[in-house]
Protein backbone atom coordinates (compact mmCIF):
# COMPACT_ATOMS: atom_id res chain seq x y z
CA UNK A 1 0.00 0.00 0.00
CA UNK A 2 1.44 3.33 -1.07
CA UNK A 3 1.28 6.23 1.35
CA UNK A 4 1.92 9.37 -0.71
CA UNK A 5 0.42 11.70 1.88
CA UNK A 6 2.23 10.23 4.89
CA UNK A 7 5.42 12.27 5.48
CA UNK A 8 6.70 9.59 7.88
CA UNK A 9 6.34 6.68 5.45
CA UNK A 10 9.60 4.75 5.26
CA UNK A 11 11.28 6.68 8.07
CA UNK A 12 12.12 4.92 11.32
CA UNK A 13 11.82 6.45 14.76
CA UNK A 14 15.60 6.18 15.08
CA UNK A 15 16.10 8.15 11.85
CA UNK A 16 13.68 10.81 13.09
CA UNK A 17 15.45 11.13 16.42
CA UNK A 18 18.90 11.21 14.85
CA UNK A 19 17.85 13.94 12.43
CA UNK A 20 16.33 16.05 15.19
CA UNK A 21 19.35 15.70 17.47
CA UNK A 22 21.81 16.45 14.64
CA UNK A 23 19.85 19.45 13.38
CA UNK A 24 18.24 20.86 16.53
CA UNK A 25 20.09 19.35 19.50
CA UNK A 26 19.09 17.77 22.79
CA UNK A 27 18.35 21.13 24.45
CA UNK A 28 15.79 21.95 21.78
CA UNK A 29 14.21 18.51 22.15
CA UNK A 30 14.04 18.90 25.94
CA UNK A 31 12.34 22.30 25.52
CA UNK A 32 9.78 20.86 23.11
CA UNK A 33 9.03 17.60 24.95
CA UNK A 34 9.66 17.70 28.70
CA UNK A 35 10.73 14.11 29.30
CA UNK A 36 13.67 12.87 31.35
CA UNK A 37 15.29 10.98 28.49
CA UNK A 38 15.81 14.36 26.77
CA UNK A 39 16.60 16.31 29.96
CA UNK A 40 19.09 14.14 31.85
CA UNK A 41 22.05 12.43 30.12
CA UNK A 42 20.20 12.01 26.82
CA UNK A 43 21.10 9.19 24.47
CA UNK A 44 19.48 7.90 21.32
CA UNK A 45 19.09 4.43 22.89
CA UNK A 46 17.32 5.62 26.04
CA UNK A 47 15.12 7.98 24.07
CA UNK A 48 14.10 5.27 21.60
CA UNK A 49 13.21 2.92 24.43
CA UNK A 50 10.99 5.53 26.09
CA UNK A 51 9.38 6.78 22.88
CA UNK A 52 8.51 3.27 21.74
CA UNK A 53 6.61 2.71 25.02
CA UNK A 54 4.98 6.14 25.20
CA UNK A 55 2.63 6.95 22.31
CA UNK A 56 1.92 10.59 23.26
CA UNK A 57 5.64 11.42 23.39
CA UNK A 58 6.34 9.61 20.13
CA UNK A 59 3.53 11.51 18.40
CA UNK A 60 4.94 14.78 19.69
CA UNK A 61 8.44 13.95 18.41
CA UNK A 62 7.05 12.89 15.02
CA UNK A 63 5.07 16.14 14.76
CA UNK A 64 8.17 18.19 15.60
CA UNK A 65 10.15 16.24 12.99
CA UNK A 66 7.59 16.88 10.25
CA UNK A 67 7.48 20.59 11.06
CA UNK A 68 11.26 21.05 11.34
CA UNK A 69 12.06 18.91 8.28
CA UNK A 70 9.60 20.82 6.12
CA UNK A 71 11.03 24.10 7.39
CA UNK A 72 14.58 22.94 6.60
CA UNK A 73 13.54 21.73 3.14
CA UNK A 74 11.93 25.10 2.35
CA UNK A 75 15.15 26.91 3.27
CA UNK A 76 17.10 24.77 0.80
CA UNK A 77 14.91 25.87 -2.12
Structure confidence by residue, pLDDT tens digits, 33-51: 999 999 999 999 999 999 9
Are 55 and 11 within 8 A, CB to CB?
Answer: no
- Pick from 55, 53, 70: which is nearest to 7 by CA? 70
Structure confidence by residue, pLDDT tens digits, 4-31: 688 899 999 999 999 999 999 999 999 9
**Which pTM does this prediction carry?**
0.89
- Where along the chain do its domains lie? 13-76
Q: 13-76, superfamily in CATH?
A: SAP domain (1.10.720.30)
Amino acid sequence: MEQKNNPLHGITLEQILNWLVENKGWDYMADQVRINCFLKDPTIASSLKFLRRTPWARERVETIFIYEKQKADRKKH
